[in-house]
């Protein structure tokens, strides 16, 4: 665990100094949202203190500097995921909006009655419901790749699903409920052999694993700023130019048009065609600082550190009698979901909170996953780069104490 100086990193996150219920905060709910480094908080403050004004509109000075700062983020994202063009980066509100955009616009153009959409058994609700809505509207069919007891996708079934009716495959890179890293290269390769595009939900991947969209050859990739040390209210849709150009716009409004008359409107070019209305400007600008922060630490260093910490946490939690980890895939990232015999996840969560330890309990917006494992939910500890072995020890001690009280 030596490459990164975690003590110094922790200093960058003001909130980590606070206490909760009289105890030092142990924040292990990073899958829900990460904390923000001072550089991100300062970027938001600086925007309102020094440059607040609308983007892409004014000729005046403030509008130019805020537009420039917003566009710097677009190019930073481009570089971060190695997109070929900056106009392939659409700034959205977050993962959910990005998926809804693709389901709506790609769906409108390319999906008709009798077609098929493939997702997986371990998707977040935001990568289930938009496709369900689309399929219902179009008379298409949703196919779900099943997973094993370990939480690994059944690739043989996936292969058997692909056919001339398959119009899109949409799966997560890393499962937020189980931590499974999916074999995305193989998923994409097989889909492309079938001439089917793939959307990757990278909401739980982009902050942990180096992503290169050209190397992956993925057609759409989506993620949220707030899970990668950035602000809420901003996210990304990467789309290959050829697809984005073929898709109709999402919402109508300002910024997405070229010319408007009451008879006919012509649309703006990429990326603005998909960015109607005033965006979340301060969040867009501050996302740049979040990516800088990740780049300074180095995504590969982050991955190594978190993988070691995940292994340590797994080993230590398994010391606890009756504790069962849900999701035991060979390839995992940053998430440990567990249940303890004779206890309800919610009760463990409440008792941990009394000790200042923040975890998530429940179905993690992945109810079908819980159904497969016949459990009401799990306790989920999800790691970020500022977490430490000491915090894992505090979690283990806390769970032991909770179990002693509950069983
Ligand atoms: N997909 C995955 C895998 C997620 O973990 C989440 C957030 N928990 C989402 C999608 C939705 O992201 P957001 O709420 O930021 O739109």
d(CA 215, CA 203): 19
Mutate to test the pocket of ligand 1, among 92, 204, 208, 327 (most ligand atoms within 8 A of CB): 204
Pair 260, 167 in one domain = yes
Pair 85, 227 in one domain = yes
Q: In this model, does residue 191 exceed pLDDT 80?
A: yes
Pair 161, 258 in one domain = yes
* Distance from Cα 291 to the centre of ligand 1, integer Å: 18
Q: Considering its fold, how many domains does the chain have in total?
A: 2
Domain hosting 232: range is 41-295
Q: In this model, does residue 330 exceed pLDDT 70?
A: yes
**Does ligand 1 have an atom closer than 6 angstroms to the CB of 334?**
no
Mean pLDDT of the 70-90 span = 98
User: ipTM more than 0.95?
Assistant: yes
Q: Would residue 85 count as lying in a domain?
A: yes
* Residue for token pair 């206490």: 19
Across the strands, what pairs with 7? none
Residue 286: what pLDDT?
98
* Distance from Cα 96 to the centre of ligand 1, integer Å: 6
List CB contacts of 79: < 8 A, sequence separation 6 or more.
none
Q: Would residue 142 count as lying in a domain?
A: yes
Pair 262, 326 in one domain = no
Band (pLDDT 50/70/90 cuts) for residue 131 is: very high
* Distance from Cα 230 to the centre of ligand 1, integer Å: 14
Mean pLDDT of the 355-369 span = 96
Which CATH number fits the domain that encloses residue 309? 3.90.1150.10
Pair 334, 247 in one domain = no
Q: ω into residue 271 within 30 of 0, thus cis?
A: yes
Q: Would residue 395 count as lying in a domain?
A: yes
Instruction: Write the pLDDT tens digit of every residue in 200-226.
Output: 999 999 999 999 999 999 999 999 999
Which CATH number fits the domain that encloses residue 160? 3.40.640.10
> What are phi and psi for residue 286, nearest 5 degrees?
-75, -20
Residue 1: what pLDDT?
45
Q: In this model, does residue 398 exceed pLDDT 80?
A: yes
* Distance from Cα 22 to the centre of ligand 1, integer Å: 31
**Strand ranges inside 93-132, DSSP E:** 116-120
Q: Would residue 35 count as lying in a domain?
A: no
Q: Is-catalytic flag, 135? A: no
Domain end position, chosen among 277, 295, 313: 295
Residue 56: what pLDDT?
87
Instruction: Write the pLDDT tens digit of every residue in 271-296.
Output: 999 999 999 999 999 999 999 999 99
Pair 319, 345 in one domain = yes
Mean pLDDT of the 162-176 span = 98
The dihedral formed by the CA atoms of 84, 85, 88 and 92, expressed in degrees to the nearest 10: 110
Q: Would residue 36 count as lying in a domain?
A: no
Q: Would residue 363 count as lying in a domain?
A: yes
Pair 143, 263 in one domain = yes
Tell which atom from ligand 1 comes closest to the C-alpha of 365: 8
Pair 287, 305 in one domain = no
Pair 333, 382 in one domain = yes
Mutate to test the pocket of ligand 1, among 33, 95, 369 (most ligand atoms within 8 A of CB): 95
Pair 22, 58 in one domain = no
**Does ligand 1 have an atom closer than 6 angstroms to the CB of 124?**
yes
Q: Three-class SS of residue 395? A: helix
**Does ligand 1 have an atom closer than 6 angstroms to the CB of 203?**
yes
Of all residues in the chain, what percent carry a pLDDT higher than 90?
98
Residue 137: what pLDDT?
98
Domain end position, chosen among 268, 295, 322: 295
List CB contacts of 124: < 8 A, sequence separation 6 or more.
95, 172, 176, 177, 201, 203, 364, 365, 366
Q: Would residue 1 count as lying in a domain?
A: no
Pair 208, 70 in one domain = yes
Domain end position, chosen among 269, 295, 321: 295
* Distance from Cα 223 to the centre of ligand 1, integer Å: 8
Band (pLDDT 50/70/90 cuts) for residue 2 is: low
Mean pLDDT (the chain, rounded)? 97
- Whether the CB-CB separation of 332 and 343 falls below 8 Å is answered with no
pTM equals 0.98
* Active-site option among 211, 216, 365, 394: 365
**Does ligand 1 have an atom closer than 6 angstroms to the CB of 222?**
no
Pair 129, 152 in one domain = yes
Mean pLDDT of the 39-67 span = 95
């Amino acid at each position: 665990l030596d490459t990164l100086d975690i003590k110094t990193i922790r200093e960058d996150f003001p909130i980590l100094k606070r206490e909760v219920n009289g105890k030092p905060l142990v924040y292990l709910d990073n899958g829900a949202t990460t904390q923000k480094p001072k550089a991100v908080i300062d970027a938001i403050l600086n925007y309102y203190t020094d440059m607040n004004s609308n983007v892409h509109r004014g000729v005046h000075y403030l509008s130019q500097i805020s537009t420039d700062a917003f566009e710097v983020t677009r190019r930073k994202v481009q570089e971060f995921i190695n997109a070929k063009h900056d106009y392939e980066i659409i700034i959205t509100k977050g993962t959910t909006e990005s998926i809804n955009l693709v389901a709506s616009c790609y769906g409108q153009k390319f999906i008709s009655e009798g077609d098929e959409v493939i997702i997986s058994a371990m998707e977040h609700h935001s990568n289930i419901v938009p496709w369900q809505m689309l399929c219902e509207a179009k008379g298409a069919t949703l196919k779900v790749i099943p997973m094993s007891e370990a939480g690994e996708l059944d690739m043989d079934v996936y292969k058997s699903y692909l056919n001339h009716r398959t119009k899109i495959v949409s799966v997560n890179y890393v499962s937020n409920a189980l931590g499974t890293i999916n074999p995305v290269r193989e998923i994409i390769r097989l889909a492309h052999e079938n001439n089917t595009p793939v959307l990757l939900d990278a909401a739980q991947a982009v902050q942990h694993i180096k992503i290169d969209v050209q190397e992956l050859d993925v057609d759409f990739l989506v993620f949220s700023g707030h899970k990668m040390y950035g602000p809420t209210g901003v996210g990304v849709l990467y789309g290959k130019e050829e697809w984005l150009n073929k898709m109709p716009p999402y919402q109508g409004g300002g910024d997405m048009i070229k010319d408007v008359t009451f008879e006919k409107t012509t649309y703006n070019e990429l990326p603005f065609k998909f960015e109607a209305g005033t965006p979340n400007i301060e969040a867009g600008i501050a996302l740049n600082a979040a990516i800088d922060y990740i780049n300074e630490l180095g995504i590969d260093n982050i991955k190594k550190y978190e993988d070691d910490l995940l292994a340590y946490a797994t080993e230590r939690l398994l010391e606890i009698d009756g504790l069962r980890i849900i999701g035991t895939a060979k390839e995992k990232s940053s998430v440990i979901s567990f249940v303890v015999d004779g206890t309800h996840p919610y009760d463990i969560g409440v008792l941990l909170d009394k000790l200042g330890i923040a975890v998530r309990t429940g179905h993690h917006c992945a109810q079908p996953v819980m159904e497969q494992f016949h459990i009401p939910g799990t306790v989920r500890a999800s790691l970020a780069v500022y977490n430490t072995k000491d915090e894992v020890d505090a979690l283990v001690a806390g769970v032991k104490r909770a179990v002693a009280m509950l069983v």
